[in-house]
Amino acid sequence: MKIRLGMVGGGRGAFIGNVHRIAARLDNRYELVAGALSSDPNRAAESAAELGIAPKRSYASFEEMAKKESKLKNGIEAVAIVTPNHLHFPAAMAFLNAGIHVICDKPLTTSLADAEVLAAKVNASGLILAVTYNYSGYPMVRQAREMIAGGKLGNIRVIQVEYAQDWLATNIEAGGQKQAAWRTDPTKAGAGGSIGDIGTHAFHLAEFITGLTVKSILADLDSFVAGRRLDDNANILLHFSNGAKGMLWSSQIASGRENGLRIRIYGSRAGLEWAQEDPNYLRFTPLGEVQQTLTRGGPGAGESATAATRIPAGHPEGFLEGFANLYAGIADMIEAHRDGNKLDSLVPTVKDGLRGMRFVEKALTSNGSGSIWQSLEN
Amino acid sequence: MKIRLGMVGGGRGAFIGNVHRIAARLDNRYELVAGALSSDPNRAAESAAELGIAPKRSYASFEEMAKKESKLKNGIEAVAIVTPNHLHFPAAMAFLNAGIHVICDKPLTTSLADAEVLAAKVNASGLILAVTYNYSGYPMVRQAREMIAGGKLGNIRVIQVEYAQDWLATNIEAGGQKQAAWRTDPTKAGAGGSIGDIGTHAFHLAEFITGLTVKSILADLDSFVAGRRLDDNANILLHFSNGAKGMLWSSQIASGRENGLRIRIYGSRAGLEWAQEDPNYLRFTPLGEVQQTLTRGGPGAGESATAATRIPAGHPEGFLEGFANLYAGIADMIEAHRDGNKLDSLVPTVKDGLRGMRFVEKALTSNGSGSIWQSLEN
Amino acid sequence: MKIRLGMVGGGRGAFIGNVHRIAARLDNRYELVAGALSSDPNRAAESAAELGIAPKRSYASFEEMAKKESKLKNGIEAVAIVTPNHLHFPAAMAFLNAGIHVICDKPLTTSLADAEVLAAKVNASGLILAVTYNYSGYPMVRQAREMIAGGKLGNIRVIQVEYAQDWLATNIEAGGQKQAAWRTDPTKAGAGGSIGDIGTHAFHLAEFITGLTVKSILADLDSFVAGRRLDDNANILLHFSNGAKGMLWSSQIASGRENGLRIRIYGSRAGLEWAQEDPNYLRFTPLGEVQQTLTRGGPGAGESATAATRIPAGHPEGFLEGFANLYAGIADMIEAHRDGNKLDSLVPTVKDGLRGMRFVEKALTSNGSGSIWQSLEN
Amino acid sequence: MKIRLGMVGGGRGAFIGNVHRIAARLDNRYELVAGALSSDPNRAAESAAELGIAPKRSYASFEEMAKKESKLKNGIEAVAIVTPNHLHFPAAMAFLNAGIHVICDKPLTTSLADAEVLAAKVNASGLILAVTYNYSGYPMVRQAREMIAGGKLGNIRVIQVEYAQDWLATNIEAGGQKQAAWRTDPTKAGAGGSIGDIGTHAFHLAEFITGLTVKSILADLDSFVAGRRLDDNANILLHFSNGAKGMLWSSQIASGRENGLRIRIYGSRAGLEWAQEDPNYLRFTPLGEVQQTLTRGGPGAGESATAATRIPAGHPEGFLEGFANLYAGIADMIEAHRDGNKLDSLVPTVKDGLRGMRFVEKALTSNGSGSIWQSLEN
């Protein structure tokens, strides 16, 4: 029986809403049956019609949707929240209060305080809150994680992670570009600019792959575009709990870079490199041995990568398949929950979302104090 | 209203059946409602159940399915044929006779004669027969085609195309690998080995991108693996109608190559290079100018590439998305047909399937005669 | 004691003369002491002066140089012939007759008959004639050869070799470009265009790396640029003595390609790929194992590559260093000859030069007969 | 008339001595006529003999060499100092005092104070002191510099530079590896480990290419290998004088990295990327336009790159040719000095060497203070 899914946000023209829907559809385990797709009622209704959502299950607000769906016999079991950041918190709270699982875009909230409230709520409720740090769904990312956990790199010493784009290299928010407008507006995006929007992805990836915890950070943030209110470039130093050191660069003004998320990890026995724009490959360089390139689905692929791959080596999978791997994992979790079980999973949850918000808040504190180390321990 | 789709073949464990299903599902324009998924009745029934096909619409044979579905009020409008090659012809004929559109895997048939019969049938019926030369669905392939049509390369002079894999480098058919067993069996695959299975993809790609016609070919085929009955490596020279020259290499014994379909085209004004394993990029080298790399969704993307892309530059799309672009195009064609119209489309049809079979047959003739040029004109 | 070297051709502005001089100088084992650097006496004298050659050892002709140097007490021991092709034969004969070793550019001569005369002369004289198939000097080319000789690839099945450039994509010879003018003039270049100028390099590389002999070829040649008298594109099929099959593509009209010599070899156990424009890497793909990239000077480098490398891994060496490896090998041979010994060496000699001329002649014959297989056995 | 050159250090088996000699020889503008090649007299004499240096001009110490050569009629005009770091200062002072130009390896000295004394001496003497930040000799590095100076990137905003190796990933100094032993010994290397040995290269490259000055730095240094006394990994934040921000990573423990010097620069109009291990290419990404790849010697090459290139595009040049470009520039400076002129040049001089020492010293101060910003202005 497919999982009954609702969606908040993601009406016509919204990029990420469609991504979530394709990801949910890819493995055929969800059916989208309800939505509060837009704050504009006409847009909401039209979008719902296009998506085959029955008119009576197209709602004017997420509050109404949470309330009414929770009372239906076959109401939604989970909701995907794909709105601007400032709505993540109230929407997630509404659905959790209604006993509905939540799939929430990143960053989790617009403040660390809200994230902590949400985490407490999730823990109290026993419900699932998944955060779509979708890059952790790529098979070769999971391969990297498995290789490190298996000791292939020895002791991790250095982690270099970056996420570079250029779409905010000019002041497009002034020209009314909708995506840019809310992402550069502190009332909607929260206090983090690039660090919240993409830095949290990079941060999660570093902890996810290495299995390590970032202990403290030191940040140097900039807003290079005149008039911009949030950071558009961040240079951040990292201290990991095991003594490893790293740097994190997030930028939305790196001219000519499209979606350059990349991580490099060096241990006492080997190194690993992965780049999101070329996701089917993982470069593995054991110290003193010939360099290797693992391919998705190819020789050397471990259990977690194999489980996350649909087609053979040489047939490239991409962003949508990686995203769908999160949805598949969430489906597993929800099905276990139906049976009263709790599933260990690779899917990022509220804990990871909370880490991300702590990262954002401490980066801002460090930068505001002239680049002083800030602890990420709570 | 979604298109009602059936499937022949593609039961549990079949790679390509699942690919077709994901491709059909990705853009949410089809519903899979009937199937003759396996010649093994239990397997057929179980597979149908897994896919949510109603038991009464899970058939024991394609003949039965064609007959019964054509009489249902809401019977299938189209069928995907994803069986071994020797069943393509009878299955396609059965559905065309039943007035049902056909989506057929390549190569179209096991003989040129069958392909000609099928082509005549399609033309007489007015129905759609699409052939899944799926690599033509990649956005950057369509970009290349559009650039050449727009004169960016000048007169085309040289085309180098290749499709290299290694999965048949050893005699795995002897070990009972199912995919290998039928693909190396002339009674199931037809007279072509690598030339039929992957050479036809390369051949189609060369004609599709350049808009040229191959006038004649000269072939040197081998079966390197002892005991193999069909070619596993083919070196072929090409003469194009406009005077361009080329080479086509197809191999299933190229140790270490996964799915290396690659094409390079050189004209009087510029060159183009594309590789399937890195499909989001197109290298464009105008004579006497700085080398360029176009990215899917990035600056320089033309109309046809843009129409075939779902997510922004830097977010890689892959094989499944390219395959889904064929399904989307077929959906457009079917919807036009519902309205009594005929749509011009980039989707390969019976004409292209027939070209592929002529290519296979003439390659075998050339090889059998000690590598003599053979005309591909009919 | 350094080897006393003379040079024929290579005056001011000549690209390849300077390459030979740098290659000779790099390891400090030669001194350039005589020259017939240009057929223009002023140019010859000025070039000699620039190069520190004493005026009395700057000659008006190679005939004079051969005659006079052979009578000097410390006359040259070897001469580098870097003229247009048609002078290779008479110059080489003159110096061999004078008892002087010859280092000759490729192709060896302008006809197979001349090459046979030259080979007989070399064999009779006991002198050294090296042919600068310089690409065989690259460390990773030698590494590839050593790996194949050591059985790492198993039985060789397929060889794909190509050499693609674009500098003759337009009719620059008409505009007086000197290098183009003689290379497209059959009275100076010989009967082969691209096949002689670069095809011979590709052909030598295939035999050198694999240790196999090409048994027969089948050629399809073109002159795409209007008015051009020699081939500027060649598509050639190869049969090797062990049953391996291959294709060779040489082109000087591949728009946007600079100096694209590239070889790929597939055996029953592994594949190898090398590209001249990225010469410090060798891709090695053992069947069923993770893909490897060997680096010059890095782990996995064998004896012959190590012997041909000067600086550590990660410090790229290039074309000049590869060329210098030939000069170093020739110096070893000459020093052995001083001592009355004959040295086995990786340096291409008259035998290889002769093979190249047979390749050119048979390619022309095959093409002239409508692409019929021609034996390369004599 | 060739420049008469001496050398201090660089006896048998020393890597960098041979590099300097090849670089000096490549363009035929120097003759090596004197040396104090080793502190071991036998080794010095044998090395000199191998290099064709007359026995009487093979000296036991640099002091003796400076003194005696300065009194010869045709004594050396310049000396290359290729010793461990701690000898750079006394040797350079000795030759400057003797009126001899100095070509000195990096880092310039072992302390900022020494560097300042040396700079004062150079300025007072009017002699040339070149520092072999050799990576600035690569043609595409100079191309990058010229493009930035020409405004192609607009205002520079972000600079990411890194230099990653792995040769010190284990405690090889304990095993007696000579190169490692002195480089990890503060009495010979100075107070900087990786930051001195390779960090100074990265630092120089960033200032050289951008034409900007680093205003302040913040450093986080580590010695990951147990027992190591100097840093083997450095994560450093950079503030540039124009407001640009950057990060510099130097590491000698990055397992699997060979000689990974790489720089990426992003301005308001475009980005640039260059990697030393692939030095013939420069990636140029103008905002909103198709990505470009410039090639050494190819279309788009500017004046400074063209002047630094010897062979055509597609014929790769490497590390030695880049190094030789410094020697060629120094030869120009020395020849100008012979004529009483002073030449503006791209060659790094004592000023750059001094900047490097300030970088090292301030990095250590910042690290010692818990990562506090340190000014690099004096």
Report helix, strand or coil for B363.
helix
A106 and A146 belong to one structural domain: no
Check B319 against A311: CB less than 8 A apart: yes
Nearest CA in chain D to A254: D266
Residue B56 phi, psi (nearest 5): -75, -15
Contacting D with CB below 8 Å, chain B residues are 284, 288-295, 298-300
Check D295 against C258: CB less than 8 A apart: yes
Residue D289 counted as domain residue: yes
The Cα B331–Cα A234 span in angstroms is 46
Q: Are A188 and A85 in contact (CB under 8 A)?
A: yes
Check A371 against D373: CB less than 8 A apart: yes
The Cα C181–Cα C229 span in angstroms is 11
Partners of B291 on chain C (C-beta within 8 Å) are 256
* Residue-level pLDDT at C14: 76
What's the pLDDT band for B176 if we cut at 50, 70, 90? Answer: confident
The Cα C125–Cα B360 span in angstroms is 55
Residue C321 counted as domain residue: no
Q: What is the DSSP string of D47-75?
A: HHHHTT--GGGB-SSHHHHHHHHHHSTT-
Partners of B276 on chain A (C-beta within 8 Å) are 314, 316
Residue D203 counted as domain residue: yes
Q: Which two tokens stand for residue D94?
A: 């000795």
Sequence letter at residue A272? L
* Residue-level pLDDT at D13: 76
Task: Give the minimum alpha-carbon distance from B286 to chain C in angstroms, rounded to a whole number.
Answer: 6
The Cα D4–Cα D95 span in angstroms is 14
Q: Are C61 and C44 in contact (CB under 8 A)?
A: no
Nearest CA in chain D to C32: D28
B156 and B299 belong to one structural domain: yes
Instruction: Classify residue B120 as left (phi > 0), alpha (psi -120 to 50) or beta.
Output: alpha
- Which of D157-185 are b and which e, b meaning 16 or more Cβ less than 10 Å from the residue's Cβ? bbbbbbbbbbbbbbeebeeebebbbbbbb
* Residue-level pLDDT at A13: 76
As beta bridge partners, residue D237 has D218, D247
- B152, B153, B155, B158: best to mutate for the C interface, most C CBs within 10 A: B158
What's the pLDDT band for B13 if we cut at 50, 70, 90? Answer: confident
The Cα A41–Cα B377 span in angstroms is 59
Query: Of all helices (H) and strands (E), which one includes residue C3?
Result: strand C3-8
Final residue belonging to a domain, choices A91, A107, A127: A127
Contacting C with CB below 8 Å, chain D residues are 15, 18-19, 21-22, 25-26, 28, 51-52, 165, 257-260, 276-280, 295, 298, 310-321
Q: Tell whether the model's pLDDT for residue C378 goes beyond 80.
A: no
DSSP secondary-structure letter at B128? -
Dihedral sign (CA C205, C210, C215, C219): negative
Chains within contact range of chain D (3+ C-beta pairs < 8 Å): A, B, C
Task: Give the minimum alpha-carbon distance from C247 to chain A in angstroms, rounded to a whole number.
Answer: 23
Q: Which two tokens stand for residue A123?
A: 């823990």
Q: For D77-134, what is each residue's pLDDT tens digit? A: 999 999 999 999 999 999 999 999 999 999 999 999 999 999 999 999 999 999 999 9
D28 and D102 belong to one structural domain: yes
Is the ipTM beyond the 0.95 threshold?
Answer: yes
Nearest CA in chain D to A290: D256
pTM, full prediction = 0.97
Check A314 against B52: CB less than 8 A apart: no
A194 and A299 belong to one structural domain: yes
Report helix, strand or coil for D277.
coil
Residue B205 counted as domain residue: yes
3-class secondary structure per residue, B247-308: EEEEECCCCCCCCEEEEEEEECCEEEEEECCCCCEEEEEECCCCEEEEECCCCCCCHHHHHC
Angle at A252 between CA A247 and CA A257, to 5 degrees: 90
Tell me the pairing of strands B156-164 and B245-251: parallel
Q: For B358-367, what is each residue's pLDDT tens digit? A: 999 999 999 9
- Which of A325-350 are b and which e, b meaning 16 or more Cβ less than 10 Å from the residue's Cβ? bbbbbbbebbeebeeeeeeeebbbbb
Task: Give the minimum alpha-carbon distance from A140 to chain C in angstroms, rounded to a whole number.
Answer: 14
Nearest CA in chain B to D293: B291
Check C291 against B249: CB less than 8 A apart: no
Q: Which of C374, C364, C360, C366 is nearest to C106 (CA)?
A: C360
Partners of B288 on chain D (C-beta within 8 Å) are 299
Angle at A133 between CA A127 and CA A135, to 5 degrees: 140
The Cα B278–Cα C58 span in angstroms is 56
Q: Are D196 and D354 in contact (CB under 8 A)?
A: no
DSSP secondary-structure letter at D195? I
Mean per-residue pLDDT over chain D, rounded: 97
Check D153 against A255: CB less than 8 A apart: yes
Nearest CA in chain C to D27: C22
Q: Which two tokens stand for residue D258?
A: 């060979």
Partners of B259 on chain C (C-beta within 8 Å) are none
What is the span of the domain harbouring residue B36?
A: 3-127
Sequence letter at residue D111? S
SS3 content of chain A, % helix, strand, coil (to 5): 40, 25, 40
The Cα D129–Cα D80 span in angstroms is 10
Nearest CA in chain D to C320: D317
The Cα D134–Cα A335 span in angstroms is 61
Q: Which two tokens stand for residue A352?
A: 């990871």
CA atoms within 13 A of residue D300's CA, in its CB half-sphere: 21
Check D315 against C314: CB less than 8 A apart: no
C77 and C43 belong to one structural domain: yes
Nearest CB among B279, B311, B318 relative to A19 is that of B311
* Residue-level pLDDT at C111: 97
Residue B190 counted as domain residue: yes
Q: Label residue B68 exposed, middle or buried (CB < 10 Å: 0-12, 13-18, 19+).
A: middle
Partners of C288 on chain A (C-beta within 8 Å) are 299
Partners of C202 on chain B (C-beta within 8 Å) are none
The Cα B53–Cα B45 span in angstroms is 9
C103 and C212 belong to one structural domain: no
Q: How far is CA D112 from CA A184, B287, D103, D116, D359, in A?
A: 44, 51, 19, 6, 9
* Residue-level pLDDT at D12: 84
As beta bridge partners, residue B74 has none
Nearest CB among D288, D293, D295 relative to B299 is that of D288
Q: Tell whether the model's pLDDT for residue A69 goes beyond 90.
A: yes
CATH number at residue A157: 3.30.360.10
Q: Tell whether the model's pLDDT for residue C15 goes beyond 90.
A: no
* Residue-level pLDDT at A14: 76
Check C291 against A288: CB less than 8 A apart: no
Check C290 against A293: CB less than 8 A apart: yes
Nearest CB among C25, C259, C318 relative to D25 is that of C25
Q: For B190-211, what is each residue's pLDDT tens digit? A: 999 999 999 999 999 999 999 9
Final residue belonging to a domain, choices D127, D150, D185: D127
The side-by-side arrangement of strands in the sheet containing A101-104 is A30-36, A3-8, A78-81, A101-104, A129-131
Mean per-residue pLDDT over chain C, rounded: 97
Check D292 against B295: CB less than 8 A apart: no
Angle at C294 between CA C293 and CA C296, to 5 degrees: 140
Q: For A84-135, what is each residue's pLDDT tens digit? A: 999 999 999 999 999 999 999 999 999 999 999 999 999 999 999 999 999 9
Nearest CB among A288, A291, A295 relative to C292 is that of A291
CA atoms within 13 A of residue A318's CA, in its CB half-sphere: 27
The Cα A100–Cα A34 span in angstroms is 13
Partners of D256 on chain A (C-beta within 8 Å) are 266, 270-271, 284-287, 291
Q: Are C10 and C18 in contact (CB under 8 A)?
A: yes
Q: Which two tokens stand for residue B330?
A: 């077929």
Check B160 against C157: CB less than 8 A apart: no
Residue D146 counted as domain residue: yes
Residue B66 counted as domain residue: yes
What's the pLDDT band for A378 if we cut at 50, 70, 90? Answer: confident
Q: Which two tokens stand for residue C305?
A: 């590559």
Partners of A239 on chain D (C-beta within 8 Å) are 220
DSSP secondary-structure letter at A9? S
Residue D268 counted as domain residue: yes
Q: Are B311 and A310 in contact (CB under 8 A)?
A: no
Q: Are A356 and A203 in contact (CB under 8 A)?
A: yes
Q: Which of B267, B264, B285, B243 is nearest to B156 (CA)?
A: B267
Q: Which of A88, A164, A185 is nearest to A131 (CA)?
A: A88
What's the pLDDT band for A176 if we cut at 50, 70, 90? Answer: confident
A117 and A167 belong to one structural domain: no
Q: Which of C118, C136, C137, C135 is nearest to C127 (CA)?
A: C118
Q: Tell whether the model's pLDDT for residue D319 goes beyond 90.
A: yes
Q: For C229-286, what is each residue's pLDDT tens digit? A: 999 999 999 999 999 999 999 999 999 999 999 999 999 999 999 999 999 999 999 9
Nearest CA in chain D to B288: D299
Which ranges of chain B would DSSP assign to H, the alpha helix? Answer: 15-26, 41-50, 62-69, 88-97, 112-125, 139-149, 178-183, 186-189, 194, 200-210, 303-307, 319-338, 350-368
Dihedral sign (CA C323, C328, C329, C331): positive
Task: Give the minimum alpha-carbon distance from D29 to chain C in angstroms, rounded to a whole number.
Answer: 10
C216 and C300 belong to one structural domain: yes
Query: Of all helices (H) and strands (E), which one includes residue A205?
Result: helix A200-210
* Residue-level pLDDT at B90: 98
A363 and A301 belong to one structural domain: yes
* Residue-level pLDDT at B55: 96
Report helix, strand or coil for D87.
helix
As beta bridge partners, residue A272 has A265, A284
CATH number at residue A85: 3.40.50.720
The Cα A147–Cα A143 span in angstroms is 6
D170 and D221 belong to one structural domain: yes
A158 and A306 belong to one structural domain: yes
Torsion, Cα of A358, A363, A364, A370 (10° steps):
150
Angle between helices A88-97 and A62-69 (to 10 degrees): 10
- D255, D274, D319: best to mutate for the C interface, most C CBs within 10 A: D319
Check A373 against D371: CB less than 8 A apart: yes
Number of domains within chain C: 2
Task: Give the minimum alpha-carbon distance from D95 to chain B in angstroms, rounded to a whole number.
Answer: 46
Final residue belonging to a domain, choices D127, D147, D177: D127
Check A300 against C294: CB less than 8 A apart: no
B198 and B301 belong to one structural domain: yes
> Cβ contacts of residue B120 below 8 Å, gap of 6+?
none
What's the pLDDT band for A305 if we cut at 50, 70, 90? Answer: very high
The Cα B361–Cα B363 span in angstroms is 5
More confident residue, A14 or A180: A180
